[in-house]
C-alpha cells in the first residue's frame, strides 16, 4: 500500500515539474527592469513623491513598494500587468509594453486620492439613548465629588503624575526615533560632552537653585515650615 502511494506521489511530482518546464519554454517574453516613481498632487497642486505604494505583478507573488522619494524597481515581463495600490488612493493598473527596444524601462505613475468616505460611526458607552438619559439624570454631582475633582487637577498632583505615569506608545516611539536620529548624527565621531558646554552648566545651576534635585518629602517639609 505504501509503495503504491509513493508511486502516485512521484507521478504527480513529475507531472507538476514537466508542466512548469513547458510553461517556461512557451513563455518567451523578455524580462524588463521596470523602474520608476510614484507621485501625487498635494493640497497646493504641486507634484510630490508618494511613498509606501504597493506595486505588484498580477497573477504572481512578485512585487515591491515605493520608498520615501517614490522610487521603485522590479523585474517584469513584457505584457505583465503592474498593479499600484495604496490606502486612500485609487488603484491603478499598467501593462508593460511588448514593443520595447531595451531591457530597461522607466515609468512615472500618477495616483489620485480616493474620495470615498466611510459612513460616520458614533460609539456611545450606553446601549441606547434612553439608557443615556437615565444615567445622565442619575449622576451624582455633590460638593464632595466636585472638591475631589479639583484636588485631582491640582498642579502638584499633575506634576507628580507627569513623573510617575508611564509613557504611552506614541511618546515612546518618538523618543526611540530621536535616539536613533542622534546616533546617526554622530555616527563615526565622538559625541559632544556636556561637561564642556556652558549652557548645560547654567541649566544645572538653575535647577540646583530651584530645588529640582530635592526629594518629594524634603519639598513637603519645606512647605510646611514656611
Residue 6 has pLDDT above 80, yes or no: no
Cα(66)–Cα(74) distance, integer angstroms = 11
* Sign of the CA dihedral running 7, 12, 15, 21: negative
Q: With cut-offs at 50, 70 and 90, classify the pLDDT of residue 11.
A: low
User: What pLDDT is stored for residue 149 in this prediction?
Assistant: 78
- pLDDT tens for each residue of 17-46: 555 445 444 557 788 899 999 999 988 888
Cα(140)–Cα(114) distance, integer angstroms = 47
- pLDDT tens for each residue of 123-155: 777 777 788 777 777 777 777 777 887 787 787
Cα(66)–Cα(109) distance, integer angstroms = 11
More confident call, 1 vs 122:
122
Residue 79 has pLDDT above 80, yes or no: yes
More confident call, 79 vs 135:
79
- Do 40 and 110 form a contact (C-beta atoms < 8 A)? yes
DSSP code at position 187: T
More confident call, 121 vs 98:
98
User: What pLDDT is stored for residue 108 in this prediction?
Assistant: 93
- pLDDT tens for each residue of 173-190: 888 888 777 777 666 666
Residue 100 has pLDDT above 70, yes or no: yes
Average pLDDT, the chain: 79
19 contact partners, CB below 8 Å, separation of at least 6 = none
Residue 61 has pLDDT above 90, yes or no: no
Cα(46)–Cα(42) distance, integer angstroms = 6
Mean pLDDT of 213-226: 67
The domains of the chain, with CATH numbers, are: 29-110 (2.60.40.1120)
More confident call, 19 vs 191:
191
- Do 89 and 113 form a contact (C-beta atoms < 8 A)? yes
Residue 89 has pLDDT above 50, yes or no: yes
The Cα-based distances of 6 to 12, 13, 15, 18, 19 in angstroms read 10, 11, 14, 18, 20
The Cα-based distances of 216 to 163, 208, 220 in angstroms read 12, 15, 6
User: What pLDDT is stored for residue 23 in this prediction?
Assistant: 46
User: What pLDDT is stored for residue 154 in this prediction?
Assistant: 80
More confident call, 57 vs 151:
57
3-state secondary structure of 206: helix
User: What pLDDT is stored for residue 82 in this prediction?
Assistant: 94
- Computed on alpha carbons and rounded to an integer, the radius of gyration of the chain in Å comes to 33
- pLDDT tens for each residue of 43-56: 888 899 999 999 99
Amino acid at each position: 500500500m505504501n509503495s503504491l502511494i509513493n508511486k502516485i506521489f512521484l507521478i504527480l511530482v513529475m507531472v507538476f515539474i514537466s508542466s512548469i518546464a513547458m510553461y517556461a519554454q512557451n513563455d518567451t517574453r523578455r524580462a524588463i527592469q521596470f523602474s520608476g516613481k510614484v507621485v501625487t498632487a498635494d493640497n497646493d497642486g504641486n507634484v510630490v513623491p508618494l511613498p509606501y505604494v504597493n506595486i505588484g505583478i498580477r497573477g504572481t507573488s512578485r512585487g515591491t513598494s515605493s520608498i520615501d522619494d517614490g522610487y521603485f524597481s522590479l523585474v517584469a515581463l513584457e505584457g505583465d500587468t503592474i498593479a499600484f495600490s495604496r490606502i486612500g488612493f485609487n488603484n491603478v493598473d499598467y501593462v508593460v509594453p511588448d514593443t520595447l527596444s531595451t531591457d530597461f524601462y522607466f515609468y512615472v505613475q500618477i495616483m489620485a486620492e480616493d474620495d470615498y468616505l466611510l459612513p460616520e460611526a458614533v460609539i456611545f458607552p450606553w446601549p441606547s439613548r434612553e439608557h443615556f438619559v437615565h444615567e445622565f439624570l442619575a449622576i451624582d454631582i455633590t460638593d464632595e465629588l466636585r472638591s475631589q475633582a479639583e484636588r485631582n487637577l491640582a498642579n502638584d498632583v499633575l506634576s507628580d503624575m507627569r513623573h510617575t505615569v508611564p509613557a504611552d506608545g506614541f511618546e515612546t516611539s518618538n523618543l526611540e526615533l530621536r535616539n536613533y536620529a542622534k546616533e546617526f548624527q554622530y555616527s563615526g565621531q565622538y559625541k559632544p560632552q556636556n561637561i564642556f558646554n556652558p549652557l548645560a552648566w547654567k541649566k544645572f545651576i538653575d535647577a540646583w537653585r530651584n530645588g529640582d534635585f530635592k526629594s518629594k518629602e524634603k519639598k513637603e517639609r519645606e512647605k510646611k515650615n514656611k
